[in-house]
C-alpha cells in the first residue's frame, strides 16, 4: 500500500483461521470480508477510527456474516459481487467496476474470479490484491460452485498481475498448503526455502500474509500447472498422461481435497 496517503493494511483474526483485512489511515477504516463484527468493532473503538466502507469478496458467511451488525452501527457503502446473494450490499460490482474509498484515497479495480463460488470477485489497487478464498499462499480455494476451467482462468488472471503485487487472502492456511505443495514439487528449491521462512513466521506468531504474486508463481502448485514437475506429479496421481493445464489443475485440486 502506498505511504502517500498513509494507508496501512493489517489483519484482524476471526474464527479459527480467517483474516479480516483492515485498510486504515489516521481517521478512517475500510474492512474486507468481515465474517464477524466483534473484532472489527473492538478494533475501531480501540483505535478511534470511523468505518468508511466494506468490501466483500464472496457470499460465504465467514466473509460476510458481520456486515449487518456493522451497518447497524453506521451506514457505509458495501461493495460485493453482483452475482451472489448478499443482502447487505449497497454497491453490487463486477469485472471492470471500481470500488472507490475516497476517505482513504484508494480506488480498486474489480476482477471477476469465479471458481470457489460462482461470482467471487477480487479488488486490485495500490499494488495490493484482496482475493478472498480464490488464491491462498501456496494454495487455492476449493471449487464449491465453479469448475476447473473457471478457476484456472481466474488464477491465470491473478498471476498476470505484477510480481510485486501484495496478496491478501482470507485464511491462514499457508503451512498446510506448503506441506501439500512439497508433495507435488519436492525438488522446488524456492518452495523449500519458503517452507522454512513461513514456518519461522508462524512460530513467531505472525501472519504469513500478505504474499506476493511473484512468490506465488514460483511456489504455488495451482499457478504452476504448465511446469513439467507439476504435470509429472499430477499424472502420477491420476495414473494418466495429461498435459492440459485444466486437467493438471483438476488433478492436483482433487489430490489436495483427499490429502
- Nearest alpha-carbon partner for 89 in 73, 105, 75, 106: 75
By rule CB under 5 A, what count of residues binds Zn ion? Answer: 2
33 binds Zn ion (CB under 5 A): no
Minimum CB–partner distance for residue 192 and Zn ion (Å): 29
Q: Is 201 buried (19+), middle (13-18) or exposed (0-12) by CB count in 10 A?
A: middle
Minimum CB–partner distance for residue 118 and Zn ion (Å): 12
Give the range of 14-22, 37-45, 60-68, 248-256 binding Zn ion by CB under 5 A. Answer: 60-68
Instruction: Give the residue with the Cβ less far from Zn ion, 148 or 245.
Output: 148
Instruction: Give the residue with the Cβ less far from Zn ion, 39 or 245.
Output: 39
Give the x-and-dash track for 120-139 against Zn ion (CB under 5 A). Answer: -------------x------
Instruction: Give the residue with the Cβ less far from Zn ion, 133 or 216.
Output: 133
Minimum CB–partner distance for residue 190 and Zn ion (Å): 28
Does the CA dihedral 146-150-152-154 come out positive or negative?
Answer: negative
> b/e for 50-74, b at 16 or more Cβ within 10 A?
ebbbbbbbbbbebbbbbbeebbeee
Q: How far is the C-alpha of 23 from the C-alpha of 157, rounded, in Å?
A: 24
Instruction: Give the residue with the Cβ less far from Zn ion, 113 or 234.
Output: 113
User: Which of 32, 51, 52, 60 lies at the binding interface for Zn ion (CB under 5 A)?
Assistant: 60
Active-site residue list:
58, 60, 62-63, 116, 133, 171
* Residue/partner pairs of 203-207 with CB below 8 Å, 24 or more apart: 207/11, 207/19, 207/172
Q: How far is the C-alpha of 198 from the C-alpha of 239, rounded, in Å?
A: 32
| Interface ranges with Zn ion (CB under 5 A) | 60, 133
Amino acid at each position: 500500500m502506498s505511504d502517500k496517503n498513509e494507508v496501512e493494511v493489517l489483519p484482524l483474526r476471526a474464527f479459527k483461521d480467517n483474516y479480516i483485512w483492515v485498510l486504515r489511515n489516521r481517521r478512517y477504516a475500510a474492512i474486507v470480508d468481515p465474517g464477524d463484527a466483534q473484532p472489527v468493532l473492538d478494533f475501531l473503538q480501540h483505535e478511534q477510527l470511523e468505518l468508511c466502507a466494506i468490501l466483500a469478496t464472496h457470499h460465504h458467511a465467514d466473509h460476510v456474516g458481520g456486515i449487518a451488525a456493522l451497518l447497524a452501527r453506521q451506514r457505509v457503502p458495501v461493495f460485493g459481487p453482483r452475482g451472489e446473494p448478499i443482502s447487505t450490499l449497497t454497491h453490487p460490482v463486477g469485472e471492470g467496476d471500481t470500488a472507490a474509498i475516497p476517505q482513504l484515497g484508494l480506488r480498486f479495480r474489480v476482477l471477476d474470479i469465479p471458481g470457489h463460488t460462482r461470482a467471487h470477485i477480487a479488488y486490485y489497487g495500490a499494488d495490493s490484491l484482496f482475493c478472498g478464498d480464490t488464491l491462498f499462499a501456496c494454495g487455492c480455494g476449493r471449487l464449491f460452485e465453479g469448475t476447473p476451467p473457471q478457476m484456472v482462468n481466474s488464477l491465470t488472471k491473478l498471476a498476470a498481475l505484477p510480481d510485486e503485487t501484495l496478496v491478501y487472502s482470507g485464511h491462514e492456511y499457508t503451512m498446510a498448503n506448503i506441506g501439500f505443495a512439497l508433495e507435488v514439487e519436492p525438488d522446488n528449491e524456492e518452495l523449500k526455502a519458503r517452507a522454512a521462512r513461513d514456518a519461522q513466521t508462524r512460530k513467531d506468531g505472525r501472519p504469513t500474509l500478505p504474499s506476493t504474486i511473484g512468490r506465488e508463481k514460483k511456489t504455488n502448485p495451482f499457478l504452476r500447472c504448465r511446469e513439467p514437475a507439476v504435470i509429472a506429479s499430477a499424472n502420477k496421481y491420476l495414473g494418466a498422461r495429461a498435459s492440459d493445464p485444466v486437467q493438471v489443475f483438476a488433478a492436483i485440486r482433487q489430490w489436495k481435497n483427499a490429502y
